[in-house]
Structure 1
Amino acid sequence: MAELKNPAGASIDAPAAARPPARSATARRLLRHAVRLVVSLAVLMVASFAMIHLIPGDPVRASLGPAAPVELVEARRAALGLDRPWPEQLLTYTGDVLTGNFGTSFITGEPVGQIIATRLPNTLVLALLATLLALAVAIPLGMWAAVRTENGRNRGTEAGFGAATGAAVAVPEFLYSIALVAVFAIWLKWLPPASKAGPESYILPILAMSIGPTAMIARISRAQTLRELGQDYVRLARANRLPVVRLHLRHVLPNTLTATLTVGGLLLTSLIAGSVLVEYVFAWPGLGQRIVESITMKDYPVAQGAILVYGALVLIVNFLVDVLIGVLDPTSALKEN
């Protein structure tokens, strides 16, 4: 019987032989991505600093209102350091951010860092749970659809899968939020409509955030699985009557995960940054809802700090996804180099 190997080099009929290490390529790849991360964070910091200066008019006057005395406006500008030259302000801002000082709220006087520390965990929990739910449902669903529709079989399943996932991706998250509240909270009265009030209050926001991403990842998973099912090692495995479950789970699945995990990492960052409207609909005490409130009330330091933290999270998560892909697929470092 011929020895079968998948593209990753794993033997199908025998334990996988150890592959030669590619440490130098992996180290160069990691260093390159680390440098990109540092540069991107620096650009993000400058952009967030410039945000408050690009607001039309005087942000202090806008926050205090047109009727505020000139003396109060000037005192607030001096307290915030906005009366100093831009280079000096940038250096001060950079030093403050690196030490965790994001300023104080115009409206409440609370430290922005404290507001972020209080609100951000609630946003991260929603985004992480929604991502895990999407991956747990989408990967098996996509593989099942690929196996069912391989070689043009089951045209009805293929059409139904494409139509359902396409429609699910097209609907915005806030519409899912409104529909879920209307059905499960107002009509059926099974779940609370808003606020964070126990484990059951997580269900609707997580569903609203995960439906669209689940459909998108399922489509990607199906495409990747169909590509793998057409490979020579799969045909050879079937010719040697390798059990279907072993073939799909041990050999096909690992080779489809690189693209899926890449999209999953991007999905997590998009859910973190895109949870604003979902949190607003469900009155969820997360950072997204606080951003909406700060923009509405012209509380610019809070908006500035929150956007900076969101951007940094996106960059860091993308970096970690790149590292994870390099660990799961060492050949990616060689290809990139």
Structure 2
Amino acid sequence: MTTITAPSAAPVPGAPASRTGRAGAGPWLAFARGRLIGLAAVFLVLLVLSFLIVQLIPGDPAVAIAGPDATAEDIAAIRGTLGLDRPILTQFLDYAGGVLTGDLGDSFQYRQPVETIIGNRLPFTAVLALHGIVVVLLVAVPVGMAVAIATRGGRRRWLDTAFGALTGFLDSVPGYIMATFLVVLFASGVGVLPLLPPAYSPGDPNLSLILPVTALAVGPACTIARVVRRETAVVLGHDYMRTARGWRLRPGTLHLKYALPNLLTTTLTLSGLILSGMLGGALIIENVFALPGLGSGIIKAILDRDYPVIQGMVLVIGMIAALVHLVVDVLLALVDSRNLGGAHGD
């Protein structure tokens, strides 16, 4: 009987066309141009919304700044100093011109540049969000693939049922409730993990990051793991995967070389939506753990009616979410050149 062996570099017969083929410079230039135009449009929308949203907040910031004993003349003088007595269109044009030149204005409460306040708070939010994203991807993809491989062909139905029930339950728990539960259990109860110390710096490696990162990552990790499990099950049922198994390829080669690239497109598309949503989750988790990030900052600014700080933080948070989507689009184009907009790899 003749034994057929598969050269390591040879493609498996019946496998889909390579999704990592190189595309020419033309498709990439068109891709970059389209994404930059989209990013500019998002920025323009955020610019308008960040200006208009503060107009919907009830109350007068001049009254809050002047204090309860201020006279009508004092309040009017503060309104004139802050430019709140000018027409809305004039205020918007001044605001847009300042943003385009890198000037987000000065805080009504602290009399500091808004960019300074954001710069002091952004590292805490960035560290929490980035750690959460890394944990989600490192946990969700391997776990989802492992469960799909272990339950292929209807095997170990108990594992499939338990995985679906557990991930569904954890995914349904809001982030702030998960954060509160983790604090009560591991910090206040068992006491094995610390809360953030008063002198915490975002650059410090610290065990106290474990609880907020876990609270932020549990729900998104469960969602992505379920998607990866379903997509892996579909990929494992394709003809080219059955051919590869018939060639007696090693499990690592079989699943990492042929299965993983073909489920990344769907996984990354959903992950982009979920990971950008994690930014909003990070803002909530910050308040549970008293992190001095953008989340606690924007809530304080709303309570103080500090319009420039609200506008600056909404603009920055929105642009960060847009940049996350841009990074995901670039990764999708690198994985599959057809995502460049109709271009096919050579």
Structure 2 SS opposite 1:191: coil
Counterpart position of 2:121: 119
How far residue 39 of structure 1 moved from its aligned partner, in angstroms, is: 0.9
Aligned: 1:246 with 2:253: yes
Aligned counterparts, 1:200-219, within 5 A? 200-219=207-226
- The unaligned stretches of length 5 or more in structure 1 are 11-17
The answer as to whether partners of 2:22 and 2:337 remain within 8 angstroms in 1 is no
Counterpart position of 1:101: 103
Structure 1 Cα separation of the partners of residues 186 and 22 of structure 2? 55
Structure 1 Cα separation of the partners of residues 301 and 100 of structure 2? 23
How far residue 110 of structure 1 moved from its aligned partner, in angstroms, is: 2.2
The answer as to whether partners of 1:146 and 1:225 remain within 8 angstroms in 2 is yes
Structure 2 SS opposite 1:83: coil
Change (3 A) 1:72 1:52: farther
Structure 2 Cα separation of the partners of residues 224 and 63 of structure 1? 56
TM-score by length of 2: 0.88
Structure 1 Cα separation of the partners of residues 181 and 17 of structure 2? 44
Change (3 A) 1:200 1:21: closer
Structure 1 SS opposite 2:273: helix
Aligned residue pair count? 330
Q: 1:4 aligns with which of 8, 12, 18?
A: 12
How far residue 70 of structure 1 moved from its aligned partner, in angstroms, is: 2.0
AA partner of residue 332 (structure 2): I
**Greater CA drift, 134-143 or 79-88:** 79-88
Structure 2 Cα separation of the partners of residues 153 and 319 of structure 1? 39
AA partner of residue 216 (structure 1): T
Please list the CA deviations of residues 87-117 of structure 1 after superposition, one character each: whole Å capped at 9, or x if unmatched: 3222211121122222222222222111100
Counterpart position of 2:287: 280
- The unaligned stretches of length 5 or more in structure 2 are none
Counterpart position of 2:173: 171
How far residue 156 of structure 1 moved from its aligned partner, in angstroms, is: 0.6
Q: 2:317 aligns with which of 310, 317, 325?
A: 310
Counterpart position of 1:265: 272
Deviation above 4 Å: which 4+ runs of structure 1? 62-67, 334-337
The answer as to whether partners of 2:337 and 2:343 remain within 8 angstroms in 1 is no
Please list the CA deviations of residues 49-102 of structure 1 after superposition, one character each: whole Å capped at 9, or x if unmatched: 112223345343355456532223222222222222233222211121122222
**Greater CA drift, 105-114 or 220-229:** 105-114
Q: 1:128 aligns with which of 127, 130, 141?
A: 130
Structure 2 Cα separation of the partners of residues 86 and 328 of structure 1? 47
Aligned counterparts, 1:1-337, within 5 A? 4-5=12-13, 6-9=15-18, 19=21, 21-62=23-64, 64=66, 67-195=69-197, 197=200, 199-335=206-342
Change (3 A) 1:219 1:19: closer
The answer as to whether partners of 2:21 and 2:337 remain within 8 angstroms in 1 is no
Change (3 A) 1:32 1:64: same
Counterpart position of 1:15: none
How far residue 142 of structure 1 moved from its aligned partner, in angstroms, is: 0.1
How far residue 192 of structure 1 moved from its aligned partner, in angstroms, is: 2.0
Structure 2 Cα separation of the partners of residues 277 and 139 of structure 1? 25
The answer as to whether partners of 1:26 and 1:334 remain within 8 angstroms in 2 is no
The answer as to whether partners of 1:8 and 1:255 remain within 8 angstroms in 2 is no
How far residue 251 of structure 1 moved from its aligned partner, in angstroms, is: 1.3
Please list the CA deviations of residues 134-182 of structure 1 after superposition, one character each: whole Å capped at 9, or x if unmatched: 1101101000111122222211111100000000110011111111111
Structure scoring higher RCO (CA < 8 A, sep ≥ 6) equals: 2
CA RMSD after TM alignment: 2.3
TM-score by length of 1: 0.90
Structure 1 Cα separation of the partners of residues 292 and 330 of structure 2? 32
The answer as to whether partners of 1:149 and 1:157 remain within 8 angstroms in 2 is yes
How far residue 255 of structure 1 moved from its aligned partner, in angstroms, is: 1.6
How far residue 193 of structure 1 moved from its aligned partner, in angstroms, is: 2.6
Structure 1 Cα separation of the partners of residues 70 and 193 of structure 2? 45
